[in-house]
A and B are shown apart, each in its own frame.
Chain A
């Protein structure tokens, strides 16, 4: 009798240990090089409270930690980032990021829920070589270097998870809400893009909240987005309807007014510099060129994304289409809307709730986008 109890007790402890380690907060670390900068990322299962400091050739990141973290370091793909070590204090961790030299500037960005931190490191010497405005005999000035790095700030890609808050979007037979799916896919997509491409991703919402269609476009314009991708799950009156499709804008006179305004605002400095009698005509021509360019670019992006969806998601190819989606009007950059699959189709609804399918969608969109941005 006693032996059995012992075995049972040991198993019990083991299972507890497993469960405990699952629930333990974790941080994932990684580093990757890009042509102009290097990026270190810290990704946590919990919101992070931290401070960052440079000290010679080290960057010290101090993270508040009331409980131990499970630290998971990924293989580094960087020649500038030599190593990352960490130590634990009473209620904090210190991560020591060692760079190959001390001549660099750093800037960091934190996701809205504070769980992802990106630290971008730029070598100082490269800034001088590229900037012709600084005379050679001027001593290094820390003010100049920070303003240079601001100009070289990363471009933004805006991802728009459809619906949200009171607007649930389409609902499937099993009670799945479109708004939940779009956010889950968008978060996965953001991760893949930020890990693999030298851009920042801004979501139009990171939680289950209402965001007006106008505001979504405004976010894209405020961030001077390179590209706008809206993510949806489809619904049809036909229960059997299934498959994936990608849309881009179809224009008409009304849309032109809205997009023209956005274009004028986004490019005000360049446009204001155009003077003379023909200034207005020239501005209109530039606008027309930008317009047809946006549409053309949007159709190319849509094609690339749909192609990847066809090969990766396993869904029926419903093709690339044009339709007057309100959310796409007023965005002054190439913009597409991806209808990932039909939530009104019970089979596809179930697929949409799985990580596997969501990941394949996110990956497909990322690959199409990456090809577009090459």
Chain B
């Protein structure tokens, strides 16, 4: 008898967990969180979200052609929008799981993410991003738009992205592309 109860309880408990998970996932593919990062907190997501993931889209290079390719990945949901963006870029740096290429130097770290009320994101990278970057305008453009497209695609309220290195706006990323200006996403670089 004890046994049966135990099994029944665990099955019920399991069902409950599944229901809860389904409930939270069913919140919908929310691609437009409000800029005010506290909104996510208000929805009562806390503590658990480290375990929870959502599918996001990352953009990588391919050896086959000169376009950016989509790669979907389950990424843990952050407490804030800043945190979420940070996670996405960290995944970009980690690289592709499907044989695509990431032009971002692997030692690159994110020093911080800042978002203004008008939807402008500042991503502050460690010096490795610049120091170890592959040389060439094509390499720089691939890196920049892999990052910018990944952010803008997943968070459509983000309009522009500034790339900082070690806290400042640099003259160029690695000798070619001007970093003193914000970048808008370039979806024409994507193929799928």
Please report A residues at the B interface, Cβ cutoff 8 Å: 163, 167, 169-171, 178, 213, 232, 234-241, 247, 252, 254-255, 318, 323-327, 329, 337, 339, 342-344
Contacts and interface: CB of A to CB of B under 8 A. Distances in A.
Interface residues on B, range: 20 to 34
B66 A326 contact: no
B113 interface: no
Given A171-B135, A238-B101, A239-B63, 6 more contacts: A232-B137, A234-B136, A236-B66, A325-B177, A326-B177, A339-B137
Given A170-B136, A344-B136, A237 B178 contact: no
Nearest to A236: B138
B175 A167 contact: yes
Nearest to B62: A238
Q: Please provide the 3 A-B residue pairs with the shortest distance between their CB atoms, ordered closest to farther.
A: A235-B136, A170-B135, A237-B103
A258 B156 CA distance: 30
A171 B139 CA distance: 13
B177 A323 contact: yes
Given A237-B103, A238-B66, A252-B182, A325 B138 contact: no
B107 interface: no
A344 B62 CA distance: 16
Contact of A326 (B103, B135, B143, B171): B171
Interface string B22-37: 0000000000000000
Which among A163, A213, A238 has the greatest number of chain B C-beta atoms within 10 A?
A238
Contact of B137 (A167, A234, A238): A234
A236 B176 contact: no
A115 to B, nearest CB: 29
Nearest to B102: A237
Nearest to B136: A235
A238 B135 contact: no
B181 interface: yes
Contacts of A254: 180-181
B141 interface: yes
Contacts of A329: 178
Contact of A169 (B62, B135, B138): B135
16 contacts: A167-B175, A169-B135, A169-B175, A170-B135, A213-B171, A213-B172, A234-B138, A235-B134, A235-B136, A235-B137, A236-B136, A237-B101, A324-B178, A325-B178, A344-B134, A344-B136
Given A254-B180, A325-B137, A163 B61 contact: no
Contacts of A163: 175
Contacts of B154: none
Interface string B117-136: 00000000000000000111
A163 B175 CA distance: 8
Contacts of A237: 61, 101, 103, 134, 138-139, 142-143
B138 A241 contact: yes
Nearest to A170: B135
Contact of B178 (A169, A178, A326): A326
